[in-house]
Structure 1
Amino acid sequence: MRLPVPADEGCAPAPEQPDDCVKGADPPLQRDENLTSTAKPRRRRAKVVHPSSDATEMLSDNPPAGDAPKSRRKRRTAAQLAEESVPDPPSTPLATEVLDNLARYPHCILLTRVGQFYESYFDQAAEVSRLLNIKLTGKSWGGQRILMCGFPLVQLNKYLKILVQQHNRFVAMCEEFPRSPSLGAKGGFDRRVVRIVTPGTLIDEPFLNPYENNYLLSIAAPEPASTTASHEANTSLSSCTRSSAVGLAWIDVSTGEFYTKRTTVGALQDELVRISPREVILDERLSERDPIRRAVSEENYFVSPFAVAERLGEASTTAAAEDLSPDDITSQIEASKEILPTSLSVEESGAVELLTGFMHANLLEHMPSLSAPSRESFTCRMQIDSHTVKALEIREGMREGGATGSLLSVIKRTVTSSGTRLLARWLCSPSTSVTEINARQSLVAFFHARPFLRQDLVQSFRDAEDTTRIVQKFLLGRGTFQDLTAICTTIDSWSSIKERILMERRMDERGGEAVNAAEWKSIGALMERLNDLDSLAGRIRTALVAREATISESEPMSDELPSPVTPMPVRDPRNPLGITEWMIKPEFSEHLTYLHKTLQTLLAEKDLLERRLQGTYDAPSLTLRASPGQGMHVHVSRKRESAQLREDKDFIGLAESGSTCTFFHKGWSQLGTQISDTALAITLAEREAYEILRNEVITHAAELRNNARIIDELDVTLAFANLAIEMRFVRPQVTEGTSYHVVNGRHPTVELGLLTSGRGFTPNTVTFTPDSHLHVITGPNMAGKSTLLRQTALIAILAQTGSFVPADSAEIGIIDRVFSRVGAKDDLFRDRSTFMVEMLEASDILRRATPKSLVIMDEVGRGTTVDDGLAIAFATVHHLLSVNGCKAMFATHFYELAEMLGYDPAQHKGHGPFSKIAFFCTGVDEVEDGYFTYSYRVNPGVNKDSHGLKVAQLAGMPDSAVEVARSALAWLKTRSAERASHEDGLRILGQALASHK
Structure 2
Amino acid sequence: MADKKETPMMQQYRTIRRELPEDTILFFRLGDFYEMFFDDAKTASDILGITLTKRHNTPMCGVPYHSAGGYLERLVKAGVKVAICEQIEDPATAKGVVKRDVTRIITPGTILDEVTLEGNQNNFLAGLYKEKNRYGMAMLDLSTGEFWIEEPEDVLSVQSNLSRYAPAECIVAEEQMDTPEFSELTLEATNTLLTACEDWTFETASANDFLLRHFNVHSLEGFGCSAMSAALGAAGAVLYYCKTELRRNLDHVRTIRVKNPADYMLLDETTASNLELVVPINSNRQAYKATLLNVLDSTCTAMGGRLLREWVLRPLNNLEQINARHDAVELMTNNQTYLRSLRDILGDIKDIERLISRIGSTTGNPRDVRAMGVSLQQMPLMKSLLINKGTMLEILGEQITSLPEIVALIESAIVDEPPINLKDGGVIREGYHPELDELRDAATQGRKWLADFQASEMERTGIKNLKVRHNKVFGYYIEVSKANVALVPEDYIRKQTLVNAERYITPELKEYENKIFGAQERSVALEQEIFNEVRRRVVDHLETIQKNALAIGQVDVLATFADRALANNYTRPLMNDDGRLDIKDGRHAVVEQMPDAERFVPNDTRLDRETHQLIIITGPNMAGKSTYIRQVALITIMAHMGGFVPAAKAEIGIVDRVFTRVGASDDLARGRSTFMVEMQETANILNNATPKSLIVLDEIGRGTSTFDGISIAWSVAEFLCKNEDMKAKTLFATHYHELTDLALTLQNVQNFSVLVKEKGDSITFLRKIVPGAADKSYGIQVARLAGLPNAVIERANDILTNLEEGELGDTGQPKLARKRPHKLKANISQLDLF
Aligned to 2:192: 302
Q: Is the 8 A contact 2:609 2:728 kept in 1?
A: no
Aligned to 2:821: none
Question: In structure 2, how many angstroms separate the alpha carbons of the residues matched to 1:296 and 1:961?
Answer: 42
- Secondary structure, in 3 states, of the residue corresponding to 2:767? coil
Q: Is the 8 A contact 1:178 1:187 kept in 2?
A: no
Read off the aligned partner of 2:59 and give its amino acid letter. Answer: L
Query: Which of 7, 16, 35 pairs up with 1:119?
Result: 35
Aligned to 1:452: 337
Aligned to 2:818: none
Question: In structure 1, how many angstroms separate the alpha carbons of the residues matched to 2:585 and 2:138?
Answer: 42
Alpha-carbon distance, 1:269 to partner:
1.1
Aligned to 2:271: 388
Structure 2 residue 197 is matched with structure 1 residue 269: no
Q: Is the 8 A contact 2:210 2:236 kept in 1?
A: no
Aligned to 2:800: 969
After TM superposition, list the pairs within 5 Å mapping 1:740-889 onto structure 2.
740-753=581-594, 756-757=595-596, 759-771=598-610, 772-881=612-721, 882=723, 883-889=725-731
- Secondary structure, in 3 states, of the residue corresponding to 1:384? coil
After TM superposition, list the pairs within 5 Å mapping 1:73-84 onto structure 2.
none
Q: Is the 8 A contact 2:208 2:232 kept in 1?
A: no
Q: Is the 8 A contact 1:258 1:374 kept in 2?
A: yes
Aligned to 1:730: 571
Question: In structure 1, how many angstroms separate the alpha carbons of the residues matched to 2:415 and 2:51?
Answer: 42
1:962-983 CA distances to partner (integer Å, 9 max, x unpaired)?
A: 1111011111111399999998
Structure 2 residue 58 is matched with structure 1 residue 173: no
- Secondary structure, in 3 states, of the residue corresponding to 2:161? helix
Q: Is the 8 A contact 1:249 1:348 kept in 2?
A: yes
Question: In structure 2, how many angstroms separate the alpha carbons of the residues matched to 1:920 and 1:90?
Answer: 85
Query: Which of 349, 353, 358 pairs up with 1:464?
Result: 349
Counterparts in 2 of 1:976 and 1:893: CA distance versus 1, 3 Å? farther
Structure 2 residue 64 is matched with structure 1 residue 147: no
Aligned to 2:108: 199
Alpha-carbon distance, 1:198 to partner:
0.5
Structure 2 residue 425 is matched with structure 1 residue 425: no
- Secondary structure, in 3 states, of the residue corresponding to 1:584? coil
Q: Is the 8 A contact 2:315 2:641 kept in 1?
A: yes
Q: Is the 8 A contact 1:308 1:357 kept in 2?
A: no
Structure 2 residue 421 is matched with structure 1 residue 560: yes
1:773-802 CA distances to partner (integer Å, 9 max, x unpaired)?
A: 221111111111111111011001111111
Alpha-carbon distance, 1:369 to partner:
4.5
Question: In structure 2, how many angstroms separate the alpha carbons of the residues matched to 1:726 and 1:666?
Answer: 75
Q: Is the 8 A contact 1:109 1:169 kept in 2?
A: yes
Structural RMSD (CA): 2.8
Alpha-carbon distance, 1:642 to partner:
4.6
Query: Which of 329, 343, 348 pairs up with 2:225?
Result: 343
Question: In structure 2, how many angstroms separate the alpha carbons of the residues matched to 1:729 and 1:669?
Answer: 76
Counterparts in 2 of 1:795 and 1:493: CA distance versus 1, 3 Å? same
After TM superposition, list the pairs within 5 Å mapping 1:497-516 onto structure 2.
497-499=382-384, 501=385
Q: Is the 8 A contact 1:742 1:807 kept in 2?
A: yes
Alpha-carbon distance, 1:688 to partner:
1.1
Question: In structure 2, how many angstroms separate the alpha carbons of the residues matched to 1:694 and 1:749?
Answer: 44
Question: In structure 1, how many angstroms separate the alpha carbons of the residues matched to 2:671 and 2:519?
Answer: 71
Question: In structure 1, how many angstroms separate the alpha carbons of the residues matched to 2:754 and 2:107?
Answer: 52
Aligned to 2:178: 288
Counterparts in 2 of 1:815 and 1:486: CA distance versus 1, 3 Å? same
Question: In structure 2, how many angstroms separate the alpha carbons of the residues matched to 1:616 and 1:833?
Answer: 94
Alpha-carbon distance, 1:666 to partner:
3.3
Counterparts in 2 of 1:369 and 1:655: CA distance versus 1, 3 Å? same
Aligned to 1:951: 782
Aligned to 1:682: 523
Counterparts in 2 of 1:611 and 1:938: CA distance versus 1, 3 Å? same
1:716-736 CA distances to partner (integer Å, 9 max, x unpaired)?
A: 222222211221110111122
Counterparts in 2 of 1:332 and 1:858: CA distance versus 1, 3 Å? closer
Structure 2: 5+ residue stretches without partners? 813-826
Question: In structure 2, how many angstroms separate the alpha carbons of the residues matched to 1:89 and 1:180?
Answer: 25
Counterparts in 2 of 1:418 and 1:202: CA distance versus 1, 3 Å? same
Alpha-carbon distance, 1:683 to partner:
1.3
Read off the aligned partner of 1:177 and give its amino acid letter. Answer: I
1:368-427 CA distances to partner (integer Å, 9 max, x unpaired)?
A: 352221111111111100001111000011112773311111221112222111111100
Query: Which of 394, 407, 410 pairs up with 1:537?
Result: 407
Alpha-carbon distance, 1:96 to partner:
1.3
Read off the aligned partner of 1:922 and give its amino acid letter. Answer: V
Counterparts in 2 of 1:475 and 1:653: CA distance versus 1, 3 Å? closer
Alpha-carbon distance, 1:180 to partner:
8.6
Counterparts in 2 of 1:467 and 1:950: CA distance versus 1, 3 Å? same
Alpha-carbon distance, 1:289 to partner:
4.2
Alpha-carbon distance, 1:101 to partner:
2.4
Alpha-carbon distance, 1:192 to partner:
0.7
Question: In structure 2, how many angstroms separate the alpha carbons of the residues matched to 1:462 and 1:300?
Answer: 31
Aligned to 1:398: 281
1:273-308 CA distances to partner (integer Å, 9 max, x unpaired)?
A: 112111111111124242123224574653433334
- Secondary structure, in 3 states, of the residue corresponding to 1:744? strand
Structure 1: 5+ residue stretches without partners? 1-48, 51-87, 224-243, 313-326, 506-516, 550-557, 562-568, 570-579, 905-910, 987-997
Q: TM-score, normalised by structure 1?
A: 0.76
Question: In structure 2, how many angstroms separate the alpha carbons of the residues matched to 1:481 and 1:946?
Answer: 66
Counterparts in 2 of 1:276 and 1:287: CA distance versus 1, 3 Å? closer
Q: Is the 8 A contact 2:215 2:254 kept in 1?
A: no
Structure 2 residue 147 is matched with structure 1 residue 258: yes
Q: Is the 8 A contact 1:747 1:794 kept in 2?
A: yes
Question: In structure 2, how many angstroms separate the alpha carbons of the residues matched to 1:308 and 1:207?
Answer: 30
Aligned to 1:643: 486
Question: In structure 1, how many angstroms separate the alpha carbons of the residues matched to 2:425 and 2:188?
Answer: 53
Aligned to 1:705: 546
Identity of aligned residues (%): 29
Aligned to 2:749: 917
Question: In structure 2, how many angstroms separate the alpha carbons of the residues matched to 1:96 and 1:297?
Answer: 39
Alpha-carbon distance, 1:154 to partner:
2.5
Structure 2 residue 456 is matched with structure 1 residue 617: no
Q: Is the 8 A contact 2:215 2:255 kept in 1?
A: no
1:866-889 CA distances to partner (integer Å, 9 max, x unpaired)?
A: 121112112211222214221111
Question: In structure 2, how many angstroms separate the alpha carbons of the residues matched to 1:984 and 1:951?
Answer: 23
Deviates more, 1:969-978 or 1:488-497: 969-978
Deviates more, 1:357-366 or 1:862-871: 357-366
Question: In structure 1, how many angstroms separate the alpha carbons of the residues matched to 2:462 and 2:511?
Answer: 23
Question: In structure 1, how many angstroms separate the alpha carbons of the residues matched to 2:719 and 2:210?
Answer: 52
Q: TM-score, normalised by structure 2?
A: 0.91
Read off the aligned partner of 1:387 and give its amino acid letter. Answer: T
Alpha-carbon distance, 1:336 to partner:
2.6
Aligned to 1:435: 320
Question: In structure 2, how many angstroms separate the alpha carbons of the residues matched to 1:92 and 1:722?
Answer: 65
Aligned to 2:397: 527
Q: Is the 8 A contact 1:780 1:923 kept in 2?
A: no
Read off the aligned partner of 2:794 and give its amino acid letter. Answer: E
Alpha-carbon distance, 1:95 to partner:
0.5
Question: In structure 1, how many angstroms separate the alpha carbons of the residues matched to 2:268 and 2:571?
Answer: 27
- Secondary structure, in 3 states, of the residue corresponding to 1:612? helix
Question: In structure 2, how many angstroms separate the alpha carbons of the residues matched to 1:743 and 1:843?
Answer: 32
Read off the aligned partner of 1:304 and give its amino acid letter. Answer: L
1:726-760 CA distances to partner (integer Å, 9 max, x unpaired)?
A: 2111011112231111111000111112xx23731
Deviates more, 1:453-462 or 1:529-538: 453-462
Counterparts in 2 of 1:845 and 1:486: CA distance versus 1, 3 Å? same
- Secondary structure, in 3 states, of the residue corresponding to 2:62? strand
Question: In structure 1, how many angstroms separate the alpha carbons of the residues matched to 2:34 and 2:290?
Answer: 41
1:656-698 CA distances to partner (integer Å, 9 max, x unpaired)?
A: 344x543233332332233222211111111111111111111
